[in-house]
A and B are shown apart, each in its own frame.
Chain A
Amino acid sequence: MRVLIIEDDRKTARAIASGLEAGGFSAAAVHTGEEGFFLLNAEPFDLVVLDWMLPGRDGIEILRTLRARGSKTPVLLLTARDAVEDRVLGLESGADDYLVKPFAFAELLARIRSLLRRASPAEALRKTVGDLKVDIEVRRVWRAGKPIELTPREFDLLAYLLRQPGQVVTREMLARDVWGEANRITPLDNVIDVHIAHLRRKVDEGHGAKLIHTVRGVGFALREEPCG
Protein backbone atom coordinates (compact mmCIF):
# COMPACT_ATOMS: atom_id res chain seq x y z
CA MET A 1 0.00 0.00 0.00
CA ARG A 2 1.44 3.36 -1.03
CA VAL A 3 0.63 6.47 0.92
CA LEU A 4 1.47 10.02 -0.14
CA ILE A 5 1.97 12.57 2.62
CA ILE A 6 1.59 16.25 1.68
CA GLU A 7 2.58 18.21 4.78
CA ASP A 8 4.70 21.35 4.91
CA ASP A 9 6.12 20.79 8.37
CA ARG A 10 9.11 18.58 7.58
CA LYS A 11 9.39 17.14 11.06
CA THR A 12 5.77 16.04 11.08
CA ALA A 13 6.00 14.70 7.52
CA ARG A 14 9.10 12.68 8.31
CA ALA A 15 7.60 11.29 11.51
CA ILE A 16 4.40 10.22 9.73
CA ALA A 17 6.37 8.64 6.86
CA SER A 18 8.65 6.60 9.11
CA GLY A 19 5.72 5.63 11.32
CA LEU A 20 3.77 4.38 8.31
CA GLU A 21 6.78 2.49 7.02
CA ALA A 22 7.17 0.84 10.40
CA GLY A 23 3.48 -0.06 10.08
CA GLY A 24 4.10 -1.87 6.79
CA PHE A 25 3.14 0.87 4.34
CA SER A 26 5.28 2.44 1.69
CA ALA A 27 5.25 6.19 2.18
CA ALA A 28 6.39 9.24 0.22
CA ALA A 29 6.44 12.71 1.75
CA VAL A 30 6.39 16.07 -0.04
CA HIS A 31 6.20 19.55 1.44
CA THR A 32 4.26 21.71 -1.02
CA GLY A 33 0.98 21.43 -2.83
CA GLU A 34 2.70 21.65 -6.26
CA GLU A 35 5.04 18.74 -5.55
CA GLY A 36 2.16 16.72 -4.21
CA PHE A 37 0.03 17.39 -7.22
CA PHE A 38 2.89 16.47 -9.54
CA LEU A 39 3.52 13.18 -7.76
CA LEU A 40 -0.15 12.27 -7.72
CA ASN A 41 -0.26 12.69 -11.50
CA ALA A 42 2.92 10.70 -11.99
CA GLU A 43 2.46 7.71 -9.70
CA PRO A 44 -0.43 5.68 -8.31
CA PHE A 45 -1.16 6.01 -4.57
CA ASP A 46 -3.68 4.15 -2.44
CA LEU A 47 -4.20 6.99 -0.04
CA VAL A 48 -3.24 10.64 0.49
CA VAL A 49 -2.60 12.30 3.85
CA LEU A 50 -3.14 15.97 3.09
CA ASP A 51 -2.40 18.99 5.23
CA TRP A 52 -4.97 21.79 4.93
CA MET A 53 -2.59 24.72 5.41
CA LEU A 54 0.10 24.50 2.74
CA PRO A 55 2.25 27.18 1.19
CA GLY A 56 1.14 27.98 -2.37
CA ARG A 57 -1.90 25.86 -3.22
CA ASP A 58 -3.61 24.86 -0.01
CA GLY A 59 -4.97 21.44 0.80
CA ILE A 60 -8.59 22.23 -0.02
CA GLU A 61 -7.60 23.54 -3.47
CA ILE A 62 -5.63 20.39 -4.24
CA LEU A 63 -8.46 18.24 -2.98
CA ARG A 64 -11.03 20.01 -5.16
CA THR A 65 -8.87 19.76 -8.27
CA LEU A 66 -8.27 16.10 -7.55
CA ARG A 67 -11.97 15.35 -7.17
CA ALA A 68 -12.87 17.49 -10.18
CA ARG A 69 -10.62 15.26 -12.26
CA GLY A 70 -12.49 12.21 -11.06
CA SER A 71 -9.84 10.80 -8.75
CA LYS A 72 -11.29 8.48 -6.12
CA THR A 73 -8.13 8.04 -4.06
CA PRO A 74 -9.10 8.28 -0.38
CA VAL A 75 -7.89 11.52 1.22
CA LEU A 76 -7.36 12.08 4.92
CA LEU A 77 -7.25 15.78 5.71
CA LEU A 78 -5.00 17.03 8.53
CA THR A 79 -5.69 20.38 10.09
CA ALA A 80 -5.32 22.50 13.16
CA ARG A 81 -8.80 23.96 12.58
CA ASP A 82 -11.44 22.13 14.54
CA ALA A 83 -14.51 24.31 14.26
CA VAL A 84 -17.58 22.52 12.94
CA GLU A 85 -17.72 24.70 9.82
CA ASP A 86 -14.13 23.75 8.95
CA ARG A 87 -15.00 20.10 9.32
CA VAL A 88 -17.97 20.49 7.01
CA LEU A 89 -15.95 22.43 4.44
CA GLY A 90 -13.25 19.76 4.50
CA LEU A 91 -15.65 16.89 4.00
CA GLU A 92 -17.68 18.75 1.37
CA SER A 93 -14.53 19.41 -0.61
CA GLY A 94 -14.12 15.69 -0.98
CA ALA A 95 -12.06 14.54 2.01
CA ASP A 96 -12.87 11.02 3.22
CA ASP A 97 -11.82 11.69 6.78
CA TYR A 98 -10.63 14.57 8.89
CA LEU A 99 -8.09 14.58 11.72
CA VAL A 100 -7.40 17.54 13.98
CA LYS A 101 -3.84 18.42 14.94
CA PRO A 102 -2.22 17.56 17.23
CA PHE A 103 -3.30 13.96 16.76
CA ALA A 104 -1.97 10.72 18.20
CA PHE A 105 -0.08 8.73 15.61
CA ALA A 106 -2.02 5.67 16.75
CA GLU A 107 -5.21 7.41 15.68
CA LEU A 108 -3.79 8.41 12.29
CA LEU A 109 -2.80 4.82 11.68
CA ALA A 110 -6.22 3.54 12.72
CA ARG A 111 -7.96 6.02 10.41
CA ILE A 112 -5.71 5.13 7.48
CA ARG A 113 -6.35 1.43 7.98
CA SER A 114 -10.07 2.03 8.24
CA LEU A 115 -10.10 4.13 5.04
CA LEU A 116 -8.22 1.42 3.17
CA ARG A 117 -10.51 -1.25 4.61
CA ARG A 118 -13.73 0.44 3.56
CA ALA A 119 -13.73 -1.31 0.24
CA SER A 120 -12.83 -4.70 1.68
CA PRO A 121 -15.40 -7.32 2.83
CA ALA A 122 -17.12 -7.22 6.23
CA GLU A 123 -15.12 -8.17 9.29
CA ALA A 124 -15.14 -11.65 10.73
CA LEU A 125 -17.58 -12.23 13.56
CA ARG A 126 -15.26 -14.51 15.49
CA LYS A 127 -11.84 -13.32 16.44
CA THR A 128 -8.88 -14.75 18.27
CA VAL A 129 -5.85 -13.21 19.92
CA GLY A 130 -3.60 -15.81 21.57
CA ASP A 131 -5.95 -18.00 23.60
CA LEU A 132 -8.62 -15.30 23.76
CA LYS A 133 -11.68 -15.99 21.63
CA VAL A 134 -14.39 -13.43 21.02
CA ASP A 135 -17.71 -13.94 19.28
CA ILE A 136 -18.86 -10.48 18.20
CA GLU A 137 -22.31 -11.64 17.17
CA VAL A 138 -23.44 -13.30 20.42
CA ARG A 139 -21.15 -11.04 22.49
CA ARG A 140 -19.35 -13.82 24.31
CA VAL A 141 -15.71 -14.19 25.32
CA TRP A 142 -13.52 -17.15 26.26
CA ARG A 143 -9.99 -17.22 27.59
CA ALA A 144 -8.16 -20.57 27.43
CA GLY A 145 -11.51 -22.24 26.75
CA LYS A 146 -13.20 -20.77 29.83
CA PRO A 147 -16.02 -18.24 29.39
CA ILE A 148 -15.57 -14.72 30.79
CA GLU A 149 -18.49 -12.59 31.96
CA LEU A 150 -18.22 -9.00 30.75
CA THR A 151 -20.50 -6.02 31.23
CA PRO A 152 -21.82 -4.53 27.97
CA ARG A 153 -19.37 -1.63 28.21
CA GLU A 154 -16.44 -3.97 28.85
CA PHE A 155 -17.44 -6.05 25.86
CA ASP A 156 -17.63 -2.97 23.61
CA LEU A 157 -14.22 -1.93 24.85
CA LEU A 158 -12.71 -5.34 24.14
CA ALA A 159 -14.36 -5.54 20.72
CA TYR A 160 -12.95 -2.11 19.84
CA LEU A 161 -9.44 -3.16 20.86
CA LEU A 162 -9.90 -6.34 18.81
CA ARG A 163 -10.90 -4.40 15.73
CA GLN A 164 -7.40 -2.89 15.63
CA PRO A 165 -5.40 -6.00 16.55
CA GLY A 166 -1.93 -5.22 17.76
CA GLN A 167 -2.51 -1.49 17.27
CA VAL A 168 -2.56 1.13 19.97
CA VAL A 169 -5.84 2.92 20.57
CA THR A 170 -5.90 6.25 22.40
CA ARG A 171 -8.24 7.34 25.18
CA GLU A 172 -9.59 9.94 22.78
CA MET A 173 -10.56 7.22 20.29
CA LEU A 174 -12.20 5.19 23.06
CA ALA A 175 -14.12 8.19 24.40
CA ARG A 176 -15.45 8.94 20.94
CA ASP A 177 -16.08 5.46 19.58
CA VAL A 178 -16.95 3.37 22.65
CA TRP A 179 -18.51 5.98 24.92
CA GLY A 180 -19.99 7.93 22.01
CA GLU A 181 -18.72 11.24 23.39
CA ALA A 182 -18.44 13.81 20.61
CA ASN A 183 -16.94 16.50 22.79
CA ARG A 184 -13.18 16.26 23.38
CA ILE A 185 -13.53 18.36 26.52
CA THR A 186 -15.72 15.89 28.39
CA PRO A 187 -13.51 14.35 31.06
CA LEU A 188 -13.60 10.58 30.53
CA ASP A 189 -9.91 9.59 30.85
CA ASN A 190 -10.41 8.47 34.41
CA VAL A 191 -13.52 6.51 33.51
CA ILE A 192 -11.70 4.77 30.66
CA ASP A 193 -8.74 3.88 32.86
CA VAL A 194 -11.00 2.29 35.44
CA HIS A 195 -12.87 0.26 32.81
CA ILE A 196 -9.61 -0.92 31.29
CA ALA A 197 -8.43 -1.97 34.76
CA HIS A 198 -11.58 -4.02 35.25
CA LEU A 199 -11.41 -5.55 31.80
CA ARG A 200 -7.77 -6.41 32.38
CA ARG A 201 -8.62 -8.10 35.66
CA LYS A 202 -11.23 -10.27 33.95
CA VAL A 203 -9.20 -11.09 30.84
CA ASP A 204 -5.62 -11.31 32.07
CA GLU A 205 -5.69 -12.22 35.74
CA GLY A 206 -4.47 -15.77 36.37
CA HIS A 207 -3.01 -16.11 32.89
CA GLY A 208 0.69 -16.12 32.14
CA ALA A 209 0.54 -14.11 28.95
CA LYS A 210 -0.96 -10.63 29.34
CA LEU A 211 -3.03 -9.48 26.38
CA ILE A 212 -4.10 -5.96 27.35
CA HIS A 213 -1.16 -3.59 27.41
CA THR A 214 -0.86 0.01 28.44
CA VAL A 215 1.31 2.10 26.16
CA ARG A 216 2.33 4.91 28.45
CA GLY A 217 1.33 8.36 27.25
CA VAL A 218 -0.49 6.92 24.23
CA GLY A 219 -3.19 4.43 25.11
CA PHE A 220 -3.90 0.71 25.11
CA ALA A 221 -3.28 -2.26 22.85
CA LEU A 222 -4.51 -5.82 22.64
CA ARG A 223 -1.73 -8.16 21.55
CA GLU A 224 0.27 -11.17 22.57
CA GLU A 225 3.72 -9.68 23.10
CA PRO A 226 4.30 -6.74 25.37
CA CYS A 227 5.39 -3.55 23.67
CA GLY A 228 8.65 -1.69 24.14
Chain B
Amino acid sequence: MSQWWQRRSLRARLAAWYALAGMAICAACLTAALAAGAWRPGDRPPLWPALAVGGAATLLLFGLAGYFIAGRALAPVKEMVERTRRLSAKSLNERLPVANPHDELGELATVFNQTLQQLENSFAELKRFTADVSHELRTPLTAIRAVGEVACRERNPAVLYNALGSILEEVGRMNQLIDRLLLLARADDDNLPVRLEAALVREALVEVANALALVAEDKQQPLELDCPDHLLAVFDPALLRLALLNLTQNAIRYSPPAKPITLRAYRGQDAVVIEVADQGPGIAPEHQQKIFERFYRVDKARSRAEGGVGLGLAIVKWSVERMGGTVELKSEVRSGSAFRLRLRPVRS
Protein backbone atom coordinates (compact mmCIF):
# COMPACT_ATOMS: atom_id res chain seq x y z
CA MET B 1 0.00 0.00 0.00
CA SER B 2 2.66 2.49 1.05
CA GLN B 3 4.65 1.66 -2.10
CA TRP B 4 1.61 2.15 -4.25
CA TRP B 5 1.05 5.47 -2.48
CA GLN B 6 4.66 6.56 -3.03
CA ARG B 7 4.37 5.94 -6.73
CA ARG B 8 1.44 8.39 -7.18
CA SER B 9 2.35 11.86 -8.38
CA LEU B 10 2.73 14.61 -5.82
CA ARG B 11 -0.35 16.29 -7.35
CA ALA B 12 -2.54 13.19 -6.84
CA ARG B 13 -1.33 12.73 -3.32
CA LEU B 14 -2.08 16.35 -2.44
CA ALA B 15 -5.59 15.99 -3.96
CA ALA B 16 -6.18 12.89 -1.81
CA TRP B 17 -5.07 14.77 1.30
CA TYR B 18 -7.50 17.59 0.43
CA ALA B 19 -10.39 15.13 0.03
CA LEU B 20 -9.49 13.56 3.35
CA ALA B 21 -9.46 17.00 4.96
CA GLY B 22 -12.95 17.65 3.51
CA MET B 23 -14.24 14.42 5.01
CA ALA B 24 -12.69 15.31 8.33
CA ILE B 25 -14.56 18.64 8.30
CA CYS B 26 -17.87 16.85 7.55
CA ALA B 27 -17.22 14.36 10.33
CA ALA B 28 -16.41 17.19 12.74
CA CYS B 29 -19.69 19.00 11.81
CA LEU B 30 -21.74 15.84 12.36
CA THR B 31 -20.06 15.16 15.68
CA ALA B 32 -20.75 18.75 16.76
CA ALA B 33 -24.40 18.46 15.67
CA LEU B 34 -24.74 15.20 17.62
CA ALA B 35 -23.19 16.76 20.68
CA ALA B 36 -25.60 19.71 20.39
CA GLY B 37 -28.53 17.21 20.53
CA ALA B 38 -29.72 17.49 16.92
CA TRP B 39 -30.77 13.86 17.18
CA ARG B 40 -30.72 11.10 19.73
CA PRO B 41 -27.58 9.01 19.93
CA GLY B 42 -28.15 5.55 18.45
CA ASP B 43 -30.75 6.88 15.97
CA ARG B 44 -30.08 7.69 12.38
CA PRO B 45 -29.65 11.39 11.89
CA PRO B 46 -32.55 13.12 10.12
CA LEU B 47 -32.25 13.49 6.34
CA TRP B 48 -29.47 10.93 6.36
CA PRO B 49 -29.65 10.05 2.62
CA ALA B 50 -29.11 13.74 1.84
CA LEU B 51 -26.23 13.80 4.30
CA ALA B 52 -24.62 10.77 2.65
CA VAL B 53 -24.93 12.37 -0.79
CA GLY B 54 -23.56 15.63 0.67
CA GLY B 55 -20.58 13.75 2.15
CA ALA B 56 -19.79 12.10 -1.16
CA ALA B 57 -20.12 15.45 -2.93
CA THR B 58 -17.78 17.07 -0.39
CA LEU B 59 -15.26 14.31 -0.93
CA LEU B 60 -15.41 14.79 -4.69
CA LEU B 61 -15.39 18.59 -4.48
CA PHE B 62 -12.45 18.78 -2.10
CA GLY B 63 -10.57 16.20 -4.14
CA LEU B 64 -11.11 18.14 -7.35
CA ALA B 65 -10.27 21.46 -5.72
CA GLY B 66 -7.11 19.89 -4.27
CA TYR B 67 -6.15 18.49 -7.63
CA PHE B 68 -6.63 21.90 -9.23
CA ILE B 69 -4.78 23.88 -6.54
CA ALA B 70 -1.88 21.43 -6.41
CA GLY B 71 -1.66 21.59 -10.20
CA ARG B 72 -1.45 25.39 -10.06
CA ALA B 73 1.17 25.32 -7.31
CA LEU B 74 3.30 22.69 -9.01
CA ALA B 75 3.11 24.15 -12.52
CA PRO B 76 6.49 25.94 -12.17
CA VAL B 77 8.06 22.62 -11.12
CA LYS B 78 6.76 21.02 -14.30
CA GLU B 79 8.24 23.86 -16.31
CA MET B 80 11.57 23.50 -14.49
CA VAL B 81 11.62 19.79 -15.23
CA GLU B 82 11.02 20.43 -18.93
CA ARG B 83 13.75 23.07 -19.13
CA THR B 84 16.24 21.01 -17.17
CA ARG B 85 15.61 18.06 -19.46
CA ARG B 86 16.69 20.18 -22.43
CA LEU B 87 19.95 21.30 -20.76
CA SER B 88 23.24 19.92 -21.99
CA ALA B 89 26.88 20.97 -21.98
CA LYS B 90 26.12 23.04 -25.08
CA SER B 91 23.17 24.97 -23.68
CA LEU B 92 24.51 25.85 -20.27
CA ASN B 93 23.66 29.49 -20.93
CA GLU B 94 19.93 28.72 -20.46
CA ARG B 95 18.30 29.56 -17.16
CA LEU B 96 15.17 28.38 -15.35
CA PRO B 97 12.29 30.87 -15.12
CA VAL B 98 11.89 32.39 -11.67
CA ALA B 99 8.15 33.11 -11.29
CA ASN B 100 8.32 34.49 -7.78
CA PRO B 101 11.80 34.83 -6.25
CA HIS B 102 10.29 35.02 -2.74
CA ASP B 103 8.57 31.61 -2.55
CA GLU B 104 10.17 28.20 -2.14
CA LEU B 105 10.06 27.27 -5.80
CA GLY B 106 11.54 30.60 -6.78
CA GLU B 107 14.33 29.97 -4.31
CA LEU B 108 14.93 26.53 -5.78
CA ALA B 109 15.09 27.97 -9.31
CA THR B 110 17.45 30.73 -8.18
CA VAL B 111 19.84 28.28 -6.53
CA PHE B 112 19.69 26.03 -9.56
CA ASN B 113 20.46 28.97 -11.82
CA GLN B 114 23.46 29.88 -9.70
CA THR B 115 24.77 26.33 -10.06
CA LEU B 116 24.24 26.58 -13.80
CA GLN B 117 26.18 29.84 -13.86
CA GLN B 118 29.07 28.20 -12.03
CA LEU B 119 29.00 25.27 -14.40
CA GLU B 120 28.95 27.58 -17.38
CA ASN B 121 31.89 29.51 -15.99
CA SER B 122 33.99 26.44 -15.38
CA PHE B 123 33.18 25.07 -18.83
CA ALA B 124 34.22 28.39 -20.34
CA GLU B 125 37.40 28.36 -18.26
CA LEU B 126 38.18 24.80 -19.36
CA LYS B 127 37.69 25.82 -22.99
CA ARG B 128 39.97 28.82 -22.63
CA PHE B 129 42.53 26.74 -20.76
CA THR B 130 42.59 24.05 -23.45
CA ALA B 131 43.04 26.71 -26.11
CA ASP B 132 45.88 28.25 -24.08
CA VAL B 133 47.60 24.92 -23.57
CA SER B 134 47.41 24.13 -27.29
CA HIS B 135 48.90 27.50 -28.05
CA GLU B 136 51.67 27.11 -25.51
CA LEU B 137 52.56 23.66 -26.82
CA ARG B 138 52.42 24.81 -30.41
CA THR B 139 54.93 27.57 -29.87
CA PRO B 140 57.88 25.28 -29.05
CA LEU B 141 56.66 22.72 -31.59
CA THR B 142 56.76 25.36 -34.31
CA ALA B 143 60.30 26.25 -33.36
CA ILE B 144 61.36 22.58 -33.30
CA ARG B 145 59.84 21.97 -36.69
CA ALA B 146 61.33 25.06 -38.31
CA VAL B 147 64.80 24.47 -36.89
CA GLY B 148 64.65 20.78 -37.81
CA GLU B 149 63.51 21.37 -41.37
CA VAL B 150 66.17 23.98 -41.99
CA ALA B 151 68.83 21.74 -40.43
CA CYS B 152 67.89 18.90 -42.80
CA ARG B 153 69.44 20.83 -45.69
CA GLU B 154 72.57 21.67 -43.74
CA ARG B 155 75.89 19.85 -44.13
CA ASN B 156 78.06 21.86 -41.77
CA PRO B 157 78.39 19.85 -38.51
CA ALA B 158 78.78 22.94 -36.34
CA VAL B 159 75.51 24.39 -37.63
CA LEU B 160 73.80 21.01 -37.27
CA TYR B 161 75.04 20.69 -33.71
CA ASN B 162 73.67 24.11 -32.95
CA ALA B 163 70.29 23.22 -34.46
CA LEU B 164 70.09 20.07 -32.36
CA GLY B 165 70.90 22.07 -29.27
CA SER B 166 68.14 24.51 -30.06
CA ILE B 167 65.68 21.67 -30.62
CA LEU B 168 66.63 20.09 -27.30
CA GLU B 169 66.15 23.41 -25.54
CA GLU B 170 62.60 23.64 -26.86
CA VAL B 171 61.99 20.03 -25.86
CA GLY B 172 63.17 20.88 -22.37
CA ARG B 173 60.74 23.79 -22.28
CA MET B 174 57.84 21.59 -23.36
CA ASN B 175 58.84 19.12 -20.72
CA GLN B 176 58.74 21.79 -18.02
CA LEU B 177 55.41 23.04 -19.28
CA ILE B 178 53.92 19.55 -19.11
CA ASP B 179 55.33 18.93 -15.63
CA ARG B 180 53.75 22.13 -14.37
CA LEU B 181 50.45 21.48 -16.12
CA LEU B 182 50.31 18.03 -14.55
CA LEU B 183 50.97 19.52 -11.14
CA LEU B 184 48.15 22.03 -11.57
CA ALA B 185 45.80 19.39 -13.01
CA ARG B 186 46.39 17.21 -9.99
CA ALA B 187 46.19 20.24 -7.76
CA ASP B 188 42.54 20.61 -8.79
CA ASP B 189 41.90 17.17 -7.30
CA ASP B 190 42.98 18.40 -3.88
CA ASN B 191 44.41 14.95 -3.32
CA LEU B 192 48.07 15.87 -3.23
CA PRO B 193 49.58 15.34 0.19
CA VAL B 194 50.45 18.48 2.12
CA ARG B 195 52.69 18.26 5.16
CA LEU B 196 51.65 21.20 7.28
CA GLU B 197 53.76 21.85 10.34
CA ALA B 198 54.62 24.69 12.64
CA ALA B 199 58.03 25.83 11.48
CA LEU B 200 60.38 28.79 11.62
CA VAL B 201 59.69 31.26 8.84
CA ARG B 202 63.23 32.60 8.99
CA GLU B 203 64.68 29.21 8.06
CA ALA B 204 62.54 29.07 4.95
CA LEU B 205 63.52 32.60 3.94
CA VAL B 206 67.23 31.99 4.59
CA GLU B 207 67.12 28.85 2.48
CA VAL B 208 65.59 30.72 -0.46
CA ALA B 209 67.95 33.66 -0.06
CA ASN B 210 70.95 31.31 0.00
CA ALA B 211 69.79 29.44 -3.08
CA LEU B 212 69.39 32.69 -4.98
CA ALA B 213 72.30 34.63 -3.48
CA LEU B 214 74.57 34.11 -6.46
CA VAL B 215 71.82 34.84 -8.99
CA ALA B 216 71.10 38.16 -7.27
CA GLU B 217 74.78 38.94 -6.87
CA ASP B 218 75.28 38.58 -10.61
CA LYS B 219 72.81 41.41 -11.11
CA GLN B 220 74.32 43.35 -8.18
CA GLN B 221 70.95 43.13 -6.45
CA PRO B 222 71.14 43.02 -2.67
CA LEU B 223 68.84 40.34 -1.26
CA GLU B 224 67.64 41.82 2.02
CA LEU B 225 66.20 39.63 4.72
CA ASP B 226 64.02 41.03 7.45
CA CYS B 227 62.45 38.41 9.69
CA PRO B 228 62.26 37.88 13.46
CA ASP B 229 64.27 34.87 14.65
CA HIS B 230 61.47 33.02 16.37
CA LEU B 231 58.53 33.74 14.08
CA LEU B 232 56.51 30.56 13.59
CA ALA B 233 53.85 29.81 10.99
CA VAL B 234 51.98 26.77 9.73
CA PHE B 235 53.31 25.69 6.35
CA ASP B 236 54.71 22.88 4.24
CA PRO B 237 58.41 23.73 3.79
CA ALA B 238 58.59 22.29 0.28
CA LEU B 239 55.50 24.20 -0.89
CA LEU B 240 56.64 27.44 0.70
CA ARG B 241 60.07 27.08 -0.90
CA LEU B 242 58.40 26.48 -4.25
CA ALA B 243 56.33 29.67 -3.86
CA LEU B 244 59.17 31.83 -2.56
CA LEU B 245 61.68 30.63 -5.16
CA ASN B 246 59.21 31.51 -7.90
CA LEU B 247 58.44 34.94 -6.47
CA THR B 248 62.04 35.86 -5.66
CA GLN B 249 63.34 34.71 -9.03
CA ASN B 250 60.64 36.77 -10.72
CA ALA B 251 61.68 39.76 -8.63
CA ILE B 252 65.31 39.35 -9.69
CA ARG B 253 64.35 38.73 -13.30
CA TYR B 254 62.04 41.67 -13.75
CA SER B 255 63.71 44.41 -11.74
CA PRO B 256 66.74 46.35 -12.94
CA PRO B 257 70.31 45.68 -11.75
CA ALA B 258 71.39 47.08 -8.39
CA LYS B 259 67.80 47.45 -7.11
CA PRO B 260 67.39 45.59 -3.83
CA ILE B 261 64.93 42.73 -3.31
CA THR B 262 63.42 42.37 0.14
CA LEU B 263 62.19 39.20 1.81
CA ARG B 264 60.27 40.40 4.84
CA ALA B 265 58.17 38.50 7.33
CA TYR B 266 56.19 39.67 10.32
CA ARG B 267 53.32 38.67 12.55
CA GLY B 268 50.17 40.44 11.31
CA GLN B 269 46.78 40.70 13.00
CA ASP B 270 45.54 37.20 12.26
CA ALA B 271 48.22 35.86 9.95
CA VAL B 272 51.94 35.58 9.45
CA VAL B 273 52.80 37.80 6.50
CA ILE B 274 55.70 37.10 4.14
CA GLU B 275 56.46 39.75 1.59
CA VAL B 276 58.65 39.55 -1.49
CA ALA B 277 59.21 43.10 -2.69
CA ASP B 278 61.18 44.55 -5.57
CA GLN B 279 61.81 48.05 -6.86
CA GLY B 280 61.17 47.13 -10.46
CA PRO B 281 58.81 48.68 -13.00
CA GLY B 282 55.69 47.55 -11.12
CA ILE B 283 52.59 45.99 -12.61
CA ALA B 284 49.80 48.07 -14.12
CA PRO B 285 46.38 47.79 -12.42
CA GLU B 286 44.76 46.15 -15.48
CA HIS B 287 47.17 43.21 -15.16
CA GLN B 288 47.04 42.87 -11.38
CA GLN B 289 43.78 40.91 -11.23
CA LYS B 290 44.80 38.46 -13.88
CA ILE B 291 48.43 37.89 -13.05
CA PHE B 292 47.76 34.72 -11.06
CA GLU B 293 45.82 33.13 -13.92
CA ARG B 294 47.41 30.31 -15.86
CA PHE B 295 49.35 31.52 -18.89
CA TYR B 296 48.68 35.16 -18.18
CA ARG B 297 51.74 37.22 -18.99
CA VAL B 298 52.23 40.94 -18.74
CA ASP B 299 54.82 40.91 -21.50
CA LYS B 300 54.52 37.72 -23.51
CA ALA B 301 57.61 38.02 -25.69
CA ARG B 302 59.84 39.01 -22.82
CA SER B 303 58.66 36.38 -20.40
CA ARG B 304 59.17 33.63 -22.96
CA ALA B 305 62.63 34.91 -23.85
CA GLU B 306 63.52 34.65 -20.16
CA GLY B 307 62.52 31.00 -20.22
CA GLY B 308 59.15 31.30 -18.49
CA VAL B 309 56.19 29.10 -19.36
CA GLY B 310 53.57 31.39 -17.83
CA LEU B 311 52.61 29.17 -14.92
CA GLY B 312 54.89 30.40 -12.13
CA LEU B 313 52.37 32.62 -10.35
CA ALA B 314 49.54 30.12 -10.85
CA ILE B 315 51.75 27.61 -9.04
CA VAL B 316 52.52 30.16 -6.31
CA LYS B 317 48.82 30.78 -5.75
CA TRP B 318 48.03 27.10 -5.73
CA SER B 319 50.81 26.21 -3.31
CA VAL B 320 49.96 29.01 -0.86
CA GLU B 321 46.27 28.15 -0.93
CA ARG B 322 47.10 24.49 -0.34
CA MET B 323 48.66 25.60 2.93
CA GLY B 324 45.47 27.43 3.87
CA GLY B 325 47.02 30.80 3.08
CA THR B 326 46.42 33.58 0.59
CA VAL B 327 48.58 35.57 -1.77
CA GLU B 328 48.00 39.08 -3.06
CA LEU B 329 49.86 41.62 -5.11
CA LYS B 330 50.48 45.22 -4.13
CA SER B 331 52.04 47.09 -6.95
CA GLU B 332 52.38 50.56 -8.36
CA VAL B 333 53.80 51.38 -11.75
CA ARG B 334 57.37 52.66 -11.44
CA SER B 335 57.71 52.03 -7.73
CA GLY B 336 57.82 48.22 -7.64
CA SER B 337 55.77 45.19 -6.71
CA ALA B 338 55.24 43.34 -3.47
CA PHE B 339 53.73 39.88 -3.30
CA ARG B 340 52.25 39.29 0.11
CA LEU B 341 51.65 35.77 1.40
CA ARG B 342 49.51 35.23 4.45
CA LEU B 343 50.02 32.00 6.35
CA ARG B 344 48.28 30.60 9.38
CA PRO B 345 49.99 31.70 12.59
CA VAL B 346 50.82 29.35 15.43
CA ARG B 347 48.64 30.14 18.44
CA SER B 348 50.74 30.55 21.52
Q: Which residues does A use to contact B, with CB under 8 Å?
A: 82, 102, 179, 182-191, 194-195, 197-198, 215-218, 228
Contact = CB atoms under 8 A, between A and B. Distances in A.
Given A183-B238, A191-B214, A198-B214, 17 more contacts: A82-B182, A102-B171, A185-B242, A185-B315, A187-B245, A187-B249, A188-B245, A190-B215, A191-B215, A216-B161, A216-B165, A216-B166, A216-B169, A217-B165, A217-B166, A217-B171, A228-B157
Nearest to B307: A189
Size range of the chain B interface in the assembly: 20 to 34
- Report which residue of A82, A179, A190 has the largest number of chain B beta carbons within 10 angstroms of its beta carbon: A190
A194 B162 contact: no
Contacts of B170: 217
Nearest to B173: A217
Given A179-B211, A182-B238, A194-B214, A228 B172 contact: no
Interface string B232-260: 00000010011001100100010000000
A52 B33 CA distance: 89
Interface string B163-182: 01111111110010001101
B168 to A, nearest CB: 3
A194 B172 contact: no
Contacts of B182: 82
What is the predominant secondary structure among interface residues of chain A facing chain B?
A: loop
B218 interface: yes
Interface of B: 157-158, 161-162, 164-172, 175, 179-180, 182-183, 211-212, 214-215, 218, 238, 241-242, 245-246, 249, 253, 307, 312, 315
A178 B4 CA distance: 74
Contacts of B157: 228
A197 B218 CA distance: 10
A190 B248 CA distance: 12
5 residue pairs, one from A and one from B, having the closest CB atoms:
A217-B168, A216-B165, A217-B169, A228-B161, A217-B165
A217 B164 contact: yes
B238 A191 contact: no
B214 A218 contact: no
B242 A186 contact: yes
Nearest to B219: A194
Nearest to B158: A228
B84 to A, nearest CB: 38
Contacts of B315: 185
Nearest to B165: A216
B310 to A, nearest CB: 13
B110 to A, nearest CB: 41
Contact of B246 (A82, A187, A194, A216): A187
A185 B183 contact: yes
